Every structure is written in structure tokens, then in C-alpha cells.
């Protein structure tokens, strides 16, 4: 049995990934429980939880001991909050990733899968983007993730780490009630018959990927022989915020008011990516349409989210 470490495993993506991870693996989670929660860990699985911060070398050393694979999900994930506090964003995303890589190298861990980002790392480039597109972030969040990717390449060259950086699309799905993104806000507002708040004219676009599809891509990358590779995991579909709002209104069947506010600093205008490389080297393609994935997510919020209930 291999021992897998998932940082940020008590968060949104981690909660879903742990439920897809094969039962033959032993699992350890490193999470400081600031944004995540013990309640998100699967109750039917024996998980070794290390409560600690990825910036703490001692906590990292405890977490990586005996590990065969690191899946590094822990992050400061908000573009808007990164503009408000770029220093903390750097500390968690850049220095935290550096500490995880140092710990992995010291413990002799070779396999390292890193959760990067597609849209924020690319900035306002004409979509669709892919692995050949030049990163040009316009937010501290995007810059910190690009810094993390650079450290991955450096540790591959200097310390024998075999990393894969996965550039995530805009991920949504179950276990995301604590998230502050547009899908959580819209679903809660629709279920409560409240107001949709849109920043800008609503024609900004995103690439929305259901977390089940994302986790299949993460696990495929972890099981692959890829070495020092960057891949986009994306739906390859461009959806405007106005289109997203209309879809959620249709699924929920509620009557809501839409209010527009000024565009927020640091957020890109258009974004979607090609996943040709992931399709070629991993055999990965997204399975859920946006409508199917959103219906699944709305059903989860109806059943589990106390705020919108």
C-alpha cells in the first residue's frame, strides 16, 4: 500500500478527491483547518490528519514522512482577496509550496502533483489558452501560482522531484458551501429567492469544470509517468457570467433580481482553455456538461447547505 499525502485535504477539492481515491492507498491529510473542516473528510475512510500549516517546516516534515506521493492542493484561492492581501497570498501559495517541495525532497518523495490555475495565471489573453500560452498574471493570486510552478521546475532540475503542475479551470461541485465564488453565491441566492450580484456587465467568461471531472484528471496525472510537466484540466467551454446566472435560475426555478456592480480589480475578462495535452497524455476528457454538473451541485446544496436551506 502506498501512502498519499493530500495538503488542503479538508477543503472543497480535497473532500471530493479523497472520495475518489482508491481504497488501496493509505491517506494522510495536512490541513490547518482555517478554511477547511474536519467535517468534510470522508467518515468511512481511515485518514491520518496532521493539523498544521504548509509554511511550517516541522509540520511539513511530519506530514511527508514515509509518503510516496504528494498531492498539493492547499492554497489561498481567492483572486479578490489576493488583491486585498498580496503578502499573505504569496506566503501561502509561493512560500508554502516551496516548503512542501523542500520537505518532499528531504524525505525522498519523488512524485509531486501541484494544483495550479488556468485563468489567473494567464491574465487577459485571447482564449482559448493552452500549455504554449505565455503566462501573464494580472492578480497576486495568479502570480503566486506561477511562482509555485517555477519552484516545481527548479526542484525537478535540482533535487530529483518528479512534478506535474495541473492548471485548473473554474471548479465547482459538492462540498463547496464554504467557498466564496460566483457559483456558491448564485446557488444560495437562487435557493433563497434573493439577489444575484454580478461584478461588471456579466459578459466576462469562465471555463467551469465539475469537481468530479477535475479529480479524475488529478488521479490520472498522479498515476502517470509524467515528469516536470504542465497540463490544463478544463471543460474547453466558454460560459459568460450572464449565461451561468440564467442556467442556475432555470435549474432552481426561482425568480431572482440581478444587480450589477463595478468590475473588480484583478479579475480576467475572458477565459477558457484547451485540454488537448491532457487528452493525449492522460486519456482524460471531462464527462459532465455544465447543466448536468450544475444540477448535481444544486441538489447537493439543497440537501447539505444550512445557509441556503
- Catalytic positions, written as ranges: 141
> Three cell numbers at 201?
456587465
Rounded alpha-carbon distances, angstroms, from residue 138 to 121, 193, 236, 268, 273: 8, 34, 22, 8, 17
CA distances (Å), 247 to each of 61, 179, 290, in order?
46, 20, 9
Q: Which three cell numbers stand for residue 227?
A: 515528469
How many of the other CB atoms lie within 10 Å of CB of 9?
28
Phi-psi region at 33: left, alpha or beta (left = phi > 0; alpha = psi -120 to 50): left
Question: How many residues appear in the chain?
Answer: 309
Instruction: Determine the straight-line distance between the first and last CA of the chain, rounded to whole angstroms.
Output: 41
Query: Alpha-carbon distance 122 to 62, whole Å?
Result: 34
CA distances from 241 to 15, 81, 250, 270, 288 (A): 26, 20, 14, 10, 19
Burial category of 49 from C-beta neighbours within 10 Å (exposed 0-12, middle 13-18, buried 19 and up): middle
- What order of strands is seen across the sheet that includes strand 162-168? 47-51, 26-31, 3-7, 69-72, 111-117, 162-168, 229-233
Handedness of CA 56, 62, 68, 74 (dihedral sign): negative
Q: What are phi and psi of 71, to 5 degrees?
A: -115, 105
Amino acid at each position: 500500500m502506498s501512502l498519499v499525502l493530500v495538503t488542503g485535504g479538508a477543503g472543497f477539492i480535497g473532500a471530493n478527491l479523497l472520495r475518489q481515491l482508491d481504497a488501496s492507498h493509505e491517506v494522510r491529510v495536512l490541513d490547518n483547518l482555517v478554511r477547511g473542516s474536519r467535517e468534510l473528510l470522508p467518515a468511512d475512510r481511515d485518514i491520518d490528519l496532521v493539523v498544521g500549516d504548509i509554511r511550517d517546516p516541522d509540520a511539513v516534515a511530519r506530514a511527508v514522512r514515509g509518503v510516496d506521493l504528494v498531492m498539493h492542493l492547499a492554497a489561498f484561492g481567492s483572486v479578490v482577496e489576493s488583491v486585498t492581501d498580496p503578502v499573505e497570498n504569496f506566503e501561502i501559495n509561493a512560500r508554502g509550496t516551496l516548503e512542501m517541495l523542500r520537505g518532499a525532497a528531504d524525505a525522498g518523495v519523488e512524485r509531486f502533483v501541484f494544483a495550479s490555475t488556468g485563468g489567473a495565471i494567464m491574465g487577459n489573453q485571447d482564449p482559448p489558452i493552452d500549455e504554449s500560452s505565455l503566462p501573464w498574471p494580472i492578480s497576486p493570486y495568479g502570480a503566486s501560482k506561477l511562482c509555485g510552478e517555477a519552484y516545481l521546475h527548479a526542484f525537478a532540475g535540482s533535487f530529483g522531484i518528479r512534478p506535474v503542475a495541473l492548471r485548473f479551470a473554474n471548479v465547482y461541485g459538492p462540498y463547496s458551501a464554504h467557498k466564496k465564488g460566483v457559483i456558491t453565491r448564485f446557488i444560495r441566492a437562487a435557493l433563497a429567492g434573493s439577489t444575484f450580484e454580478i461584478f461588471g456587465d456579466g459578459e466576462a467568461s469562465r471555463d467551469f469544470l465539475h469537481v468530479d471531472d477535475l479529480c479524475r484528471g488529478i488521479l490520472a496525472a498522479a498515476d502517470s509517468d509524467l515528469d516536470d510537466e504542465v497540463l490544463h484540466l478544463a471543460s474547453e467551454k466558454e460560459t459568460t457570467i450572464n449565461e451561468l446566472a440564467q442556467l442556475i435560475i432555470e435549474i432552481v426555478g426561482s425568480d431572482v433580481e440581478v444587480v450589477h456592480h463595478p468590475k473588480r480589480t484583478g479579475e480576467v475578462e475572458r477565459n477558457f482553455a484547451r485540454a488537448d495535452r491532457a487528452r493525449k497524455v492522460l486519456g482524460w476528457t471531462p464527462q459532465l456538461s455544465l447543466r448536468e454538473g450544475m444540477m448535481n451541485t444544486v441538489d447537493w446544496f439543497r440537501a447539505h447547505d444550512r445557509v441556503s436551506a
